Amino acid sequence: MSNATHGLELIGLTKILGGRVIIDNLNLTVEKGEMVSLLGPSGCGKTTTLRMIAGFLIPEKGTVNVAGKDVTNLGPEKRPSAMVFQNYALWPHMTVFKNVAYPLKIRKMGKAEIEKRVHEVLEVVNLMHHKDSRPGQISGGEQQRVALARALVQEPDILLLDEPLSNLDAKLRVKVREDIRDLQRRLGITTVIVTHDQDEALSISDRIAVMNEGRIEQFSTPQDLYDQPATEYVANFIGSLNRIEGGYADGQVIPGNEVVGIRPEDVSFSKSQVAGSYPATVELVVPRGHFHEVYLKRADASLRAFVSIDVPKAGDIGFAKVSKALVYKDGKLVRTA
Ligand SMILES: Nc1ncnc2c1ncn2[C@@H]1O[C@H](COP(=O)(O)OP(=O)(O)OP(=O)(O)O)[C@@H](O)[C@H]1O
Ligand SMILES: [Mg+2]
């Protein structure tokens, strides 16, 4: 089962905490050099999963293989993994250099070798000029990079990041996530990043595991998750959705036990009728930066559309067309229409 070409394999992982099943028979395979996000709402078990990969928690059942090696019962310091914690966990009284050197020091590495490795990694994260500063003297983004350097200096087979960007403001978050992705690609390091921010997951991951209550709902590429969300849960979690229960017309009758999901990007409005469009009234238009959110009322349904050119006004009368619909039954995708 274990395959040396995989960066990480989780097989049938189960974790019970406080008498509850928190992780439920979870399976995940990450390829070498791949960047995978664990994405899901608060409390779905992302951190618990990451802690089992890192060795801070031991599963009740299941196996953790890193780079083809079974590490399930090894402590964190014996695993070829390094973790960056959400709050960075830097030592405030130590300089940047000493913070980064710490994991090597506790491994009793020689002084010259430590200095060489720390300098190299500080170059990589572009922080050499701050090597003698203390965490309190540098910015949040720089602290984040110190925490990253402290993980990278260990030259792990797998890098684990738990919401590493959540303490940064929106602008810096985008910049640092691009830096991390860039570095990850350059070093070719297998990486698992935890986030509850879909935008973040979509923009930096090779694949995303969408989690729900201790299980993985879908594991796929960002594009695939967006275009073919396998469950209603995933469709709602990734992107935005118009949800119409049974009876929806649009030229077809939808059975009562099916739900139609329509991406607002797949709804268009025009003043004149085109094939497949139906009469609609514009009820509300909300500017959203680079597009407008347009609320449309049709005889069969209320629909939200994202419009960026020829934006209508509230009260306009015209026609709305749906170019793609996702049809769910018992929460599972049965067809696209
Ligand atoms: N030591 C513990 N004892 C009991 N329950 C726990 C323990 N640790 C975590 N849990 C519970 O396990 C569930 C999953 O927690 P976890 O920290 O993995 O969630 P998460 O997906 O990382 O959420 P967040 O996005 O808020 O960080 C939560 O309901 C949490 O309360
Ligand atoms: Mg968490």
* Average of per-residue pLDDT across 55-73: 96
Write the CA distances from 26 to 30, 46, 236, 293, integer angstroms: 13, 11, 22, 38
Distance 37 CA to ligand 2 centre (A): 13
Per-residue confidence (pLDDT) for residue 37, from 0 to 100: 98
Q: Where in the chain is the domain with CATH 2.40.50.140?
A: 242-336
Q: Where in the chain is the domain with CATH 3.40.50.300?
A: 6-236
Binned at pLDDT 50, 70 and 90, residue 252 comes out as low
Q: How many CB atoms lie within 10 A of CB 253?
A: 10
Dihedral, 184, 185, 188, 193 alpha carbons, nearest 10? 40
* Average of per-residue pLDDT across 298-302: 86
* Average of per-residue pLDDT across 135-145: 90
Binned at pLDDT 50, 70 and 90, residue 262 comes out as very high
> Above 60 in pLDDT, residue 3?
no
Out of 110-119, 181-190, 235-244, 250-259, give the one with best mean pLDDT.
Answer: 110-119
Among all bound ligands, the one having the nearest atom to the CA of 51 is 1
CATH class as words, domain 6-236: alpha beta
Among 315, 332, 323, smallest CA distance to 281 is for 315
Among all bound ligands, the one having the nearest atom to the CA of 22 is 1
Residues with CB under 5 A from ligand 2 (ion): 47
Binned at pLDDT 50, 70 and 90, residue 251 comes out as low
Per-residue confidence (pLDDT) for residue 257, from 0 to 100: 82
* Cα 125 from Cα 142, distance rounded (Å): 9
Binned at pLDDT 50, 70 and 90, residue 2 comes out as very low
* Cα 203 from Cα 128, distance rounded (Å): 28
Binned at pLDDT 50, 70 and 90, residue 255 comes out as low
Write the CA distances from 247 to 9, 10, 226, 240, 258, integer angstroms: 44, 42, 25, 21, 9
Per-residue confidence (pLDDT) for residue 187, from 0 to 100: 87
* Average of per-residue pLDDT across 61-67: 96
With a pLDDT cut of 70, the percent of the chain lying above it is 96
Distance 19 CA to ligand 1 centre (A): 12
Ligand 1 binding pocket, CB closer than 6 Å? 17-18, 22, 40, 42-48, 196
Question: Which tokens sit at 187?
Answer: 């070093």
| pTM for this predicted structure | 0.88
Per-residue confidence (pLDDT) for residue 254, from 0 to 100: 66
Q: Give the CATH number of domain 242-336; options: 3.40.50.300, 3.40.50.10260, 2.40.50.140, 3.40.1080.10.
A: 2.40.50.140
* Average of per-residue pLDDT across 16-25: 96
